[in-house]
Amino acid sequence: MMDKPTDNIQNNMYNGSFELSYKEDGVYLTVHSPRGGARVTIGEVLNKLTKKQVRNYNRAAVDSAVQKAGSIAEKIADAQEEYKIDASISLSISPDRMKANIIISPPEGGRMLSAGEILEYLKTNGIVFGIKNEVVSELSKNPMYNQQVLIAEGIAPENGINGTLEFHFDRSKDAKPSIMEDGRVNFRELNLIENVTKGKVLITAIPPTKGKPGVNIFGTDIPALDGKPAVLPRGKNVEISPDGHTLTAAIDGLVNYIDGKVSVFALYEVQADVDNSTGNINFIGNVLVRGNILSGFSVEAGGNIEVWGVVEGARIKAGGNIVLRRGMQGLGKGVLICDGDIAARYIEHSNIEAKGDIKAEAIMHSNVKCGNRLELTGKKGLLVGGSTRVGKEISAKVIGSPMSTVTEVEVGVDPTLRERYKEVKEEIKIAEADIKKAEQAIGMLRKLEQAGVLTADKKEILLKSERTREYYRTKLEELREEVQKLDEVLEQESFGRILIQSIVYPGTKVTIGTCMMSVRENLQYCSLYRDGADIRVGAYK
């Protein structure tokens, strides 16, 4: 038998080895020198002699053979019968208890283990499931020594699939009113509304699937998670069926998918002006005003708002789009706010905020917040005065005026995201302060508890304080995650551009992301964009 302390390292390199031979006149030790590898040590040989129970060996002869390593058999003990060692098994189990591997050490004068003995060894070690019987049989016939072999494997659990929603109306409508070259808005082909009748199925919830449990190699069941049911996005004027599988319209009206919820809106129509005869309007659905909206009045709608006349210093707020067929003379008090798009012929001395796009022929001396794109076309295509903040892009014919009217323009960051970022930062400060207060109260009450003077009502306060602390800790973690996501979004979106079809006048201050530039001379037919830490003037495109 020959022992090799380690495997070959390369084709031309191997460690030293040794072997014992049992002959009629004694036991012989042969030690082979290495080629580039490690030499045989005296400890390795002595361990083998002990394991093989070689009696009365000559230690000096052993030392001499190891030192010489000359591949010459040297007698180290008198003749004796060889102690035979059968093959043995070592077992390793994965941390998740799903796999078992064995390594078979070769026999030394003994025999290989039978398939039954291997199975009995596994059973003794508690392995009862997933045993690869074909591997066991093959190993007993054609053993693989000193190699790791997968001998048993459990069945992993399969979690169920979450439920999904099937929409039965078009959520991807991108119908936005367009402004023609002469400044008029084309209202004929809007395709903004999808009508539904009461009882129409709007969404079907596809049920989740059950999880399939698994089993580890010790026969222990491993539970699986069932899929979570999909939540129907119930908004206004819709109903969920008794079985919870469908969402249907509760009224005849217009279906809208806004802020992750499905609602059905009816239309409220004002035949003349919004004035003292109507009062303020607050309606769940879409609103159509065929006349004007006078100063001091407000119109709020859960859906779209359309005005055929002129809007004065009024307040208009919509959950959908705002369309002004003529325009707005805000008188410094006019307000337009919507979650969708704004389209108007002109807007003057007003405060405007849209999460989507804004389209107009002229915006003058107003404060503008636009989440996506601001487009100024028509005859004038003018943006002058005030402050304008746009998420992605501004396209205009003229920005500013020949009189160097101060016109502040910022593009590249969604203003609502920036404001939310500030709000979350402030909420984090408040949550941290609340946690600190709760911990101070807990610390004081714990001292009373240790002193054995904590009354029942104080104990209740202690429990409430601990619950309060955990609530604010969870809230603080959520806020910090939101801040991190907002940081990433703001960093990614800090690039935008401004397209000028005609001219930008001096007096215009441009901000793109964190870069700023003051226009000191006329810029014509160009684009402004961010390049690193600077704002560049490029060709119009």
For residue 186, the model assigns a pLDDT of: 42
Question: CA dist 80 to 22, 29, 83, Å?
Answer: 8, 14, 9
pTM higher than the cut 0.75: no
Instruction: Summarize the confidence of residues 28-43 as an average pLDDT.
Output: 89
Number of helices (H) and strands (E) in the chain: give both, helices first.
Answer: 6, 38
Q: How many CB atoms lie within 10 A of CB 228?
A: 11
- Please say if the pLDDT value at position 177 is more than 60: no
Lowest mean pLDDT among 45-49, 396-400, 450-454, 522-526: 450-454
Tokens 């100063």 belong to which residue?
A: 295
Per-range mean pLDDT, top range of 270-274, 327-331, 450-454, 512-516: 327-331
- Please say if the pLDDT value at position 190 is more than 60: no
Three-class secondary structure assignment of 157-171: CECCCCCEEEECCCC
Per-range mean pLDDT, top range of 156-165, 475-484, 506-515: 156-165
Instruction: Summarize the confidence of residues 70-93 as an average pLDDT.
Output: 87
Candidates 271, 269, 297, 265; CA nearest to 284 is 265
- % of the chain at pLDDT higher than 90: 41
d(CA 429, CA 328): 40
Q: How far is CA 30 from the centre of its chain?
A: 65
Instruction: Summarize the confidence of residues 477-492 as an average pLDDT.
Output: 77
d(CA 435, CA 201): 47
Instruction: Dig out the tokens for 418 from the structure.
Output: 């920036």
Instruction: Summarize the confidence of residues 261-276 as an average pLDDT.
Output: 85
30 Cβ neighbours under 8 A, 6+ residues apart: 18, 19, 21, 65, 71, 72, 73, 74
Give the model's confidence band at 494: pLDDT under 50 very low, under 70 low, under 90 confident, else very high: low
- Please say if the pLDDT value at position 511 is more than 80: yes
For residue 191, the model assigns a pLDDT of: 44
- Please say if the pLDDT value at position 316 is more than 50: yes
- Please say if the pLDDT value at position 6 is more than 70: no
d(CA 68, CA 301): 100
Instruction: Summarize the confidence of residues 183-193 as an average pLDDT.
Output: 45
d(CA 438, CA 469): 6
Three-class secondary structure of residue 301 per DSSP: strand
Alpha helices (H) along 413-520: 415-450, 456-492
Average pLDDT value for the chain: 86
- Please say if the pLDDT value at position 140 is more than 90: no
DSSP states of 130-193: SB-HHHHHHHHHS--BT-EEEEEE-B--BPPPPPEEEESS-S------EE-TTS-EE-TT----
455 Cβ neighbours under 8 A, 6+ residues apart: none
Give the model's confidence band at 290: pLDDT under 50 very low, under 70 low, under 90 confident, else very high: very high
